[in-house]
Amino acid sequence: MKNYNGYQLHFIDGIPVDLPGLHRTQQDDVVLVNGNNQLDYFNYSLTLSESRKFPYFTASNIDGGMFKKVPRVDNWRKDPRIAKDNQWGNELYGAARSDFDRGHMVKREDVQWGRSISVARAGADSTFFYPNAVPQHASLNQKIWKSLEDYILHTETIDSGLKINVFTGPVLSNKDPRFVTAIAGQHVRIPTLFWKIIYFPKSDGQLYRAGFLMSQESLLRENNIVESFRNPLLESMEEEDQLFNQFDEAETYQVNVATIEKLSKLTFQDGIETYKDKRPLKLVLREIDVMESLLESANPESILGFSLNIVV
């Protein structure tokens, strides 16, 4: 693990992109490795919540020009650099009623690049550490969210040979519902919202960014994966609560990065956003029945109904 380079701030030529800033309450709730709150892997890094055992965020560098095709080999394991009780493993994902995937925060293929096949394979393998996983319902993890990720990687980044930075994570909220199965006596709260922010350059030499949110709350509840009860003391309906309640459906949205900052309590580097609307944009309307066969055969851009327009 000594060769893990981690996230590189100066990866995009001439445009440094800083890691997200933690809220003061989050700074006291991170897993440290040799005094550092940044866990480095191949081409990506993450910061792990000590109380939730899920990442506050992951940060990856993607080089579309050096992408390599290698076969997928699932090799999930705990990270030996941190205590086993500071990270979830098969005790969560193999528990009774665990009808969810080990959801990669850093997509395997995103860091599957390098000067050789062996380097690319090492990058892909490094995404199978449990600190990079969060429970995700298969209907979103394997369908529309995957289509978004594939579009960003293959259609935009690889086809254009671009270098981009991607930040991803769950919204870790005290509003998250509890998993119906207790793990070693612990009640595990399952995140319902996931966010993704892409930073990319354009030919004008400036840095752009785009933000997305995915909700899985209705899927978790409808499949009896989480308890339906919510603590009424948390339903104060302040501005933050009203914002959170906009994303309770099984959908994926494009949003302003400011919305992600409010929900996640993280702060992100500035960048030009072409999407300027305080209202979230559903990438797939709830009224549209997206058939599994369509998801398997259609162009991701046609499914999502939008384009990042990374190249101008």
Tens digit of pLDDT at every position of the chain (312 positions): 667 999 999 999 889 999 999 999 999 999 999 899 999 999 999 999 999 999 999 999 999 999 999 999 999 999 999 999 999 999 999 999 999 999 999 999 999 999 999 999 999 999 999 999 999 998 877 777 888 888 888 878 888 888 999 999 999 999 899 999 999 999 999 999 999 999 998 888 899 999 988 888 888 999 999 997 554 434 444 544 444 344 445 567 888 899 899 899 999 999 999 877 666 666 543 322 223 333 344 444 443 444 445 433
Sheet holding 163-170, edge to edge: 39-41, 44-48, 55-63, 163-170, 193-201, 207-215, 252-255, 281-282
199 beta partners = 165, 209
- Is residue 164, in this structure, part of any structural domain at all? yes
Q: Does a structural domain hold residue 44?
A: yes
Q: CA–CA separation, 209 vs 275, rounded Å? A: 9
243: number of Cβ within 10 Å:
14
pLDDT of residue 156: 80
Q: What is the pLDDT of residue 2?
A: 62
Q: Is there a domain that residue 262 lies in?
A: yes
pLDDT at 279: 64
Cβ distance 147 to 300 under 8 Å? yes
| Alpha-carbon gap, residue 114 to 278, rounded angstroms | 39
Domains in the chain, number? 1
Assess if residue 12 is contained within a domain: no
Look up the domain containing 211 and give its range: 24-304
> Is residue 39 assigned to a domain?
yes
pLDDT at 68 (0 to 100): 94
Assign residue 294 a region: left if phi > 0, alpha if psi is -120 to 50, beta otherwise?
alpha
Q: Would residue 3 count as lying in a domain? A: no
Residue 225 lies in a domain: yes
Instruction: Confirm whether 260 is domain-assigned.
Output: yes
- 271: domain CATH number is 3.40.570.10
In the beta sheet, which residues pair with residue 198? Answer: 166, 210
How far from 175 is each of 140, 189, 233, 240, 276, CA to CA, in Å?
20, 9, 10, 11, 28
Region of residue 6 (left: phi > 0; alpha: psi -120 to 50; beta: else): left
pLDDT given for residue 115 in this prediction: 94
pTM: 0.86
- The predicted pLDDT at position 293 comes to 35
DSSP state letters, the chain: -TT-----TT-STT---PPPBPPHHHHTSB--BTTBS-EEETTEEEEEBTTT-SEEEEEEEEEGGGB---------B--TTS-GGGS--HHHHTSTT--SEEEESS-GGGG-BSSSHHHHHHHHHGGGBGGGEEEE-HHIIIIIHHHHHHIIIIIIIIHHT-EEEEEEEE---TTPPBBSS-BTTB-PBPP-EEEEEEEEE-TTS-EEEEEEEEE-HHHHHHTTSB-----GGG----HHHHHHGGG-SS-EEEE-HHHHHHHH--B----B-S---SS-EESS-TTS---HHHHHHS-HHHHHT-------
